[in-house]
Chains A and B, each alone.
Chain A
């Protein structure tokens, strides 16, 4: 008998064999060796009053249990062009999910639940989409065709999303060079999931139908940081129009990743761009690891087509099994099935992602496809087995395995056992082929779990409920003047001004460039000062204080204007800003009072300098010459702030 697999040692050994390195130690050479490839689908909600295809208000949300009615639907696969059922379609059908929609009268009408055909497309949304498409240098189509894109997970009650291409073939400039854009589409947003337990998936319909654009890039990004850079750029570009929604969930992206020899895998719904590098790094290595597993399996199993697992129902009492976990499952009426996987020894505990091994790929699919809630399985190479070694020995006896086989046990309700067994076999068979096409759900630690089978290409067809909308040159030219300066030009402008780079992310995320530009050009303040007031002072204040809905960035413009008109020294703005932020309705005069500002003539302040010099010289103990001006500045700062430029004052003290 061969030595049994030590799961932890095997995990570590296979991680080394895959060549996994943490992202901090990876460089371009690492990614070139893996053949890293990535593209983006960046979603951005548009700031409109109403939804895209009905007159419900957009942007009003409910809690998960706040609803007026529930509706139940099931999604059936429809036939594809070749008369075959799509892969995802079949999977979703296999799961036999009962989809429950929670409806609130205020935010959803009969359109959202597919009991009324669509109303004409929201023109405000269309014009914003055109504006962003122009900004992305896309070629605007001559006629907008509403298309149905099938989604069978239930996230849209119709079973498809209405979506339309606005522009094709554009580009955005990145540091390394341009990234090409495939297209920009205008589409309706989907439902928000409330829960997905067993055979019931529940959604709320408040977000459903809100206008959204999707910008799709070519897979031009060659390393994880570039993916983030491209994503940030697209998001900043969208926000630069000032016509998109901000806040949680208003911008989300799907990230496509593959390695050489791998497959396009879509990481869906990444809400923070900061997560992208770690997620793409790990996904690329996961695919690399699956290819390694494939190589090892093919070496052991020469004819994968003939590969077949065997299975047996676990009889806890008859076999005298003692593990408390097994006894508890039996008492809950769950069925347990043991499966022998020929040639899979070492594969189950094979590294796939940090903290995950190949067995997790099986557990993920058992949850999603067979609706078995996790924990749903145990296996012969688990680091912490739920089943005792003695029980495992007894179970293996029933399976009569050969050397080099691996075993697993899964459990669930009787009606799901057949699907579960098929799911295990299907996923193991895929291991011989390499990387399955799938969408994966991102986790905060930078790893992912199985979400769905990736839909096929044939899931798009024309919406017979809508007429095409012509886009004439004249219409596009009417929109063009409102298109803002390109983000890249804004980057360049800030660099030329000398605004520190650590301010950029905050400024572009909140689309503050237009207001900064106005303060600089209309009021004549120095751009570095203005840039840091926004990019550092305001950022800091925002992180430490609460504000009210009355606060707008335009009020900060008002503050600059006031300071200029009053002839105050600009530095006082940094002192007034925290008060303005917390009490946006307070007038500027009161803000000055609240920070104990008193008007003092410049001469009066300067006249105190000789006295203070005298004082420090008579009392100081240190011989350091820099002490003197520092101390004097300290004494004068409060009264000087706003009355005299601090830099000038400091120079006067030093030289005067």
Chain B
């Protein structure tokens, strides 16, 4: 790799470095029309322009030098930096539970390469111990990196591989499983694992972070401590998402994998249980259940692993004036199942009816969920709803759209029989459909109201 000495530089910027014979990591004196600059030449990020050369100056700051102003450059030294997370032996403490951390590629623990800004993930137990030494007081941790994909690239292959890996760990006698995952699609994976790993004897806890652990105020370390506590010591043997309760460093929530959703693009407390209360809160002191009807931890090693998925399933978000060809084209392309995210109580406009009829006639399975996220599909209230049901659309009660999509993929991976598909979709698994919505399942308060403001002032957000 001859070009590696000009890491990231391209076009005009690369030409300048070549012309003056200065390498990345070379200490350089640069003469410019704005005056002289000195520093170490740093790699250039791929997406940045080719008009500047990056220097780390003596005070530790980075600056860019405009190549149009450069009149001369001289390399006076060279020092390539290599960084890695220090490994320390993760101490094994007799009496602590054995927890397995399965990695998917999200960086729960990481640090930045101070020179380039690249993220170096910490993953091995030794690296994690170096970054979050408190973990050794919670459990005896082992890790396995299953794959390295970004959250948005997680899909059926990964869901199935995870389910199989979990089954294997349960068989081998693990006390709890933690899955490190990017947050953007964590609720899809949480749903998939709920369906694919049924009745596990131990907790399966998904965790991520909203602020990478190279930041002093990161939520990663606390999330990891909460997740390992829930996995190693908690009594709830379900697939759960463990993330911050409030944005404050106070406690985490354990959300049921079928009722959880990411609700804010950047808040720490972004995951919320929709239409119900979370399962429990968790601190380093332990898990404190909120709901009483959870599946308890068992001593046996049994779990039903059903790693199936039909990829030709789609989810369409209805909008006003949606054209029928949106549905026709899915059918033409061989889709076997469609989840509609309908308006209000579960409706779409009339012009779509013939398209839906054509789809059902071709054997496509069509189900209805709601855009409001909270609440049930109620298709009996208006004629339009009754019409849609008559055309074969099946309402999915209060199942969340993403959960419905995952469940339909999982069901169609096992059967195509219309009645069986319908039966499986409507048979609740871990509260993907709940028989009732408690009064405190929907609490989206609005700011500005005196009593809400009083609450916000008193209780840490």
Contacts and interface: CB of A to CB of B under 8 A. Distances in A.
A269 interface: no
A117 B248 CA distance: 17
A459 B255 CA distance: 36
A71 B245 CA distance: 12
B86 A71 contact: no
Interface in A58-91: 67-81, 83, 89
Interface string B250-274: 1000000000000010111000000
Contact of B85 (A70, A75, A83, A113): A83
A143 B215 contact: no
Given A158-B215, A468-B64, A73 B86 contact: no
A185 interface: yes
A115 B64 contact: no
Contacts of B264: 115
Given A140-B34, A185-B61, A460-B61, A160 B66 contact: no
Contacts of B268: 115
B65 A141 contact: yes
Nearest to A456: B60
Nearest to B131: A79
From A157, A459, A468, A473, residue with most partner B Cβ within 10 Å: A468
Interface string B62-80: 1111111100000000000
Interface in B101-142: 111-117, 119, 130-131
B111 A79 contact: yes
Given A115-B266, A458-B114, A464-B112, A145 B217 contact: no
Nearest to B56: A460
A152 B216 contact: yes
Interface in A98-147: 105, 110, 113-117, 139-145, 147
B119 A81 contact: no
Contacts of B65: 141-143
Given A81-B83, A83-B130, A464-B117, A69 B457 contact: yes
A347 B222 CA distance: 43
A159 interface: yes
B461 A139 contact: no
B217 A143 contact: no
B311 interface: no
A72 B447 CA distance: 20
A500 interface: no
B374 interface: no
B59 A183 contact: yes
Interface stretch (B47-55, B154-162, B314-322, B421-429): B47-55
B453 A158 contact: no
B214 interface: yes
A83 B33 CA distance: 39
A45 interface: no
A140 B81 CA distance: 27
B7 interface: no
A181 B246 CA distance: 45
From B69, B114, B249, B267, residue with most partner A Cβ within 10 Å: B114
Interface string B432-461: 000000000000000100000100110011
B37 interface: yes
Given A115-B266, A165-B63, A168-B57, A78 B117 contact: no
A89 B447 CA distance: 37
B60 to A, nearest CB: 4
A531 to B, nearest CB: 36
A462 interface: yes
A139 B34 contact: yes
Given A78-B215, A79-B131, A139-B36, A73 B83 contact: no
B212 to A, nearest CB: 8
Contacts of A403: none
Nearest to B69: A142
A461 B114 contact: yes
B62 A157 contact: no
Contacts of A80: 114
Nearest to B216: A159
A510 interface: no
B295 interface: no
Interface in A559-613: none
B60 A470 contact: no
Given A72-B248, A83-B85, A142-B34, A473 B216 contact: no
A256 B68 CA distance: 37
Contacts of B63: 141-145, 165, 168
Interface residues of A, number: 62
A201 to B, nearest CB: 14
A53 to B, nearest CB: 13
Contacts of B84: 83
B119 A464 contact: yes
Contacts of B453: 68
Contacts of A72: 248-250, 460
A158 B52 contact: no
A29 interface: no
B305 interface: no
Contacts of A89: 216
A462 B33 CA distance: 26
B83 to A, nearest CB: 6
Contact of B64 (A139, A141, A160): A141
Contacts of A113: 247
Nearest to A457: B60
A114 B211 contact: yes
B111 A472 contact: no
B35 A182 contact: no
A76 B221 CA distance: 9
A196 interface: no
B384 interface: no
A462 B118 CA distance: 9
Nearest to B33: A473
Contacts of A183: 57, 59, 61
Contacts of B218: 76, 78, 159
A471 interface: yes
Contact of A461 (B36, B66, B117): B117
Interface string B367-402: 000000000000000000000000000000000000
A67 B460 CA distance: 12
Contacts of A71: 246-248, 460-461
A169 interface: yes
A144 B84 CA distance: 28
Interface string A479-499: 000000000000000000000
B223 interface: no
B40 to A, nearest CB: 13
A158 B119 CA distance: 17
A147 B62 contact: yes
A150 interface: yes
From A89, A140, A182, A216, residue with most partner B Cβ within 10 Å: A140
Nearest to B34: A139
B52 to A, nearest CB: 4
Contact of B456 (A69, A185, A464): A69
Contacts of A79: 85-86, 111, 130-131
A560 to B, nearest CB: 41
A157 B217 contact: yes
5 contacts: A78-B214, A139-B37, A165-B63, A458-B114, A462-B117
Given A73-B248, A139-B32, A168-B57, 9 more contacts: A71-B460, A78-B213, A83-B85, A115-B267, A143-B63, A160-B216, A165-B61, A169-B36, A462-B116
Q: Which 9 A-B pairs have the closest CB atoms?
A: A143-B64, A159-B216, A142-B66, A462-B117, A83-B86, A139-B35, A72-B248, A460-B60, A145-B62
